Amino acid sequence: MRTVSHPAPSRTDMQRQSNECGEMLVNMNREDMKQQRQIVKQALERSGFPTDTPIPAECDTRYNNPLFGSRTWTPFQPGTQATTTIVENVTARKKIIAVHDANKLCKTASYLRSTGENAICPGHQGHCSANLKPWDSIGNEELYGELLADQLAEDEQPLVIGQLTTDGDSHAYRGFSKKHSEVVNLTPGKLARSKTLGVNPIA
């Protein structure tokens, strides 16, 4: 109903519907990204390259709140959600081919704790929307890189990433390259974004 501009009766109803179809949407998106990876292979074939040709890709993580200097060394960070994506640089559309969402927010756990129960995410009774423990670092981009590599490895013939463009701290690159090289027997080259290099991309 939301897709035909039919407004939700209330925020509560919108949340309830999201909870009911959330897992389905996750599976649909994973299947779509798998199809996008196949499209990249088809583009390689049309250009006369084998499907296992190493390709360039970009990876980055965005947070719901800025972490500033507390990214990796403390659990007491302002961020509670992080989304890490990897984008192919073969086609003109630059499609997302893998994504990982990290989340510390859980309304059920907050309610259970208010009643005196020692509810720790994830794994408590009832619905848990968090996939990180409260003391885990939300800025663990090395872990997120590993999980992205795991998603690519799910394919029968995984895409081979030859160059990975990331930001300057290299955490996501380290995690991704470690796992990806185990699957495809190739360590991706590391490239830095122009912003990281201090170059104005518009100039």
pLDDT at 93 (0 to 100): 93
Instruction: Verify cis geometry, omega within 30 degrees of 0, for the bond prior to 122.
Output: yes
The length of the chain in residues reads 203
**Which pLDDT tens digit goes with each residue over 74-112?**
555 668 899 999 999 999 999 999 999 999 999 899 999
Give the 3-state secondary structure of residue 136.
coil
Find the mean pLDDT for residues 18-23.
Answer: 80
Q: Which secondary-structure segment (H or E) carries 175? A: helix 171-184
Sign of CA dihedral 125, 22, 41, 170: negative
Report the percent of the chain where pLDDT is more than 70.
87
Q: Within 10 Å of residue 136's Cβ, how many Cβ atoms? A: 16
d(CA 175, CA 196): 19
Measured CA to CA in angstroms, residue 55 lies from 75, 104, 106, 133, 163 at distances of 35, 33, 38, 35, 7
The residue type at 18: S
- What lies within 8 Å, CB to CB, of 6 at 6+ separation is none
pLDDT at 167 (0 to 100): 84
Helix 141-152 to helix 171-184 angle (10° resolution) is 30
pLDDT at 203 (0 to 100): 34
Least confident of 31-35, 60-64, 146-150, 198-202: 198-202
| pLDDT of residue 155 exceeding 90 | yes
Cβ contact 123:134 at 8 Å: no
Cβ contact 120:134 at 8 Å: yes
Q: How confident is the model at residue 197 (pLDDT cuts 50, 70, 90)?
A: very low
